[in-house]
Each structure stands twice: as C-alpha cells, then as structure tokens.
Copies of this chain bind each other. A is one copy, B any other.
Amino acid sequence: MSTDADRLARAWLTACVEPGLPSVCSLLAKVGPREAMRAIADGRQVPGVLGSSDQTPQSTARAVLARAEAVGLRLVCPGDREWPTALDGLCHAGVLHGRGGTPYGLWVRGEHALTDLVRPAVAIVGARSSTAYGDDVAADIAAGLTDAAITVTSGAAYGIDAAAHRGALAVGGNTVAVLACGADVVYPRGHDGLLQRIAHEGLVVSEAPPGAHPTKVRFLARNRLIAALTQAVVVVEASWRSGSLNTLKWAGQLGRVGLGVPGPVTSGSSTGVHLAIREQRADLVTCAAEVREAISVIGSEPIEGSPTWGLGESRTTDALDPVCLAVLESLPASATAAVPADRLAERCGLDPTTVRQVLTRLTERGLVSCGEGGWRMRQRRAPLPAE
C-alpha cells in the first residue's frame, strides 16, 4: 500500500501533468512520487507539464482527491493491492507519439477490484464509424469471451467499442472502459447510459483526473493502457488511420497478442484490419473461440514469457500454476455444462489424482464448483468470495 504522502503526490501528478509523459515516468521511477512532485511544482519542470496553480501542491492534491471522492472515483497506485502489475510492463514498452510509461496513478469508478478484471481480459477495439456487420461481430465476440469469464475491455467510443461493451453487458458480464477523459466525464455525450452501466457492472478507468476532458494526445496515451490491461487486442473494424491500430501497436510493444477480424475487402471499414493482418501485426480471428485459443495454454506446454503468463495480479487467479490453469481452462466455457473429474483428467492429459487436488485448490479460490454432472467453471458474474 502506498503511503498517504505518495498518494497525494500521485494525485497531484495525474492532475497537473499530462498523462504518459516518458520524462515524468523516468523521474518518478528515479526519485519517487513525492520528490517528482516537488521537482515539478518547484519549477524544475519537465516539458509538457501543465501550468501550476496558485495553491500548494498538497492542497491541490487534496482538492483533487476530494472531488474524486464526491463523484465516486478512487485512486489506484502502484503498490496497492488493486494495482495490476501488468501496467508495470509499460516502463519498458517504449514510446509511441511521445507517450509511454507506467501511469502515475489510475482513477477507477466501480466496485470491482481492478486486478479482478485484468486477468483474463481481452480488448475489443475498432472504428467509431463502424458498420452493422462490425457491431454485430464485436458484440458477438464480446459475449463469447464474457461467457468464458474473460473481461472485455474497450474505450467506450461510438461504434465497435460500444458494441463490445454492450455485448459483454448483454450476457451479464463485467466490462472495463478505459477513458481518455476523467472517469467521471461522459464522453462521448451519447454514452451516458452506457458508461453508467459499465461503472455499475464493471469498471471505468482513466489516468486523467476527475473532470478532465479528452484530447488527441490523451487518446493516444489511453490506448497503451487498453493494451497493457489485456492479454490480447482484437481489432474488429478499422480504416487506414483508425486509432485502434495505435492500440494494436501498443499490443505489439507490450508483447500482447494482436488479433484482427476480417471483413469484406470492399468495405473501407476493414482496410486497416486487413493491412495489419498482411503485415503480421495481427492474426486473423473470426470468433470468440479463436480469440480464446490465441490467449490460451490448453493443449500446449506453458511458455515462459508468453503474453498470457505473468500478467496482472488477480486476487482470484493470482499464483495459479500452469497445471491449475490447464485444468481451469479445460472446463467448458458455459457454466451450465459440467464435466466429471476423470473426463477432465483425460482432457488435460493429467492423472486423476492430480486433477482432483487441483480442483480442490480451484474450489477454495472460488473458481470452480462441483454439482450435478461434475465440475463447472464459476462465471465471473457470479459473486466472488469475500477476501
């Protein structure tokens, strides 16, 4: 848990410094949040830092935290239990369009622990000016991933983003929206209801402070968080210059899986996806099962350093070893289908005794349950056991 003084400093940094400035990230890593705040506030400024206010940094930070509390936001900082360690990879993931690095802190709206919705998670992003085809496919893949207890993460924009969130919500799933504006700000305006539902069922996340407006660079900075908080980025429709290709690029920088859903070659909305597949920045996928396969370890030896390993720090799946994960993932995605332990052992290629031991551990973690017909996966949408 970060100290109060550290939290204050990080709240100040998110409020007074543009997000994702590599120079600030370096300073933070070198001297820590309090000293970074002091150096920047004292005028030993780094480029790109917003003008300082008349208040002392501490009082500014307190005001920001008070405003956040009033609108239902909390600040999640490195070291907090809820901080996804997956974000720390950003400090080595380079810079795109002048933005990069670990966020100074994350503002979060919603009741779930952020770590719980990070692993497993898949981003579904794409064109704002999507087609009905793209919306349908995005919603369908989102629903399929949600059914498999995979969080769907996106940017709450019009078009594909909204379709993905709605697809997840439609089957009762959690979904995470990562915004370029404050997590309390309704942007785009038409998504008032959608953002409220996301905050209620899942989480709304941003590195921008409460009340902050979205800007072009904040969108670019935001895209790196979408990639960092997921194991794969699926682009459903994207024109040549779509921002979702920037998210795909961040997936590449971070060693995440890049995926693309093709469409008619006669559709301008799929041009960017086809190009990404041609340039091997994305693998072609056509459905949720293929997305799962792309981030799955079923049927293969666990690969150290693979994008699906060592990400995040979920309280529910934290420290699950490869054997546990293999058993977990060999359960059917649907919570209504059950499998006897012996059958499960056959599926995993493990001996029944090991599988039974693993199932006991998974039960203790609230990840599986035993009932009529055998073992089944507990869906994320079922209440998780209290910590």
Contacts and interface: CB of A to CB of B under 8 A. Distances in A.
A301 B271 CA distance: 28
Given A278-B290, A284-B278, A264 B265 contact: no
Interface residues of A, number: 20
A323 to B, nearest CB: 28
Given A274-B286, A284-B277, A290-B278, A263 B264 contact: yes
Contact of A265 (B265, B266, B286): B286
Interface string A277-302: 11000011111001000000000000
**Interface SS of A by simple majority:** mixed
Identical copies in the complex: 2
A137 interface: yes
Interface in A247-271: 261-266, 270-271
B277 A265 contact: no
B290 A262 contact: no
Contact of A262 (B136, B137, B284, B287): B284
Contact of A133 (B262, B264, B284, B286): B264
Interface string A53-89: 0000000000000000000000000000000000000
Interface string A2-30: 00000000000000000000000000000
Nearest to A286: B265
Nearest to A287: B265
A286 B260 CA distance: 15
Nearest to A271: B286
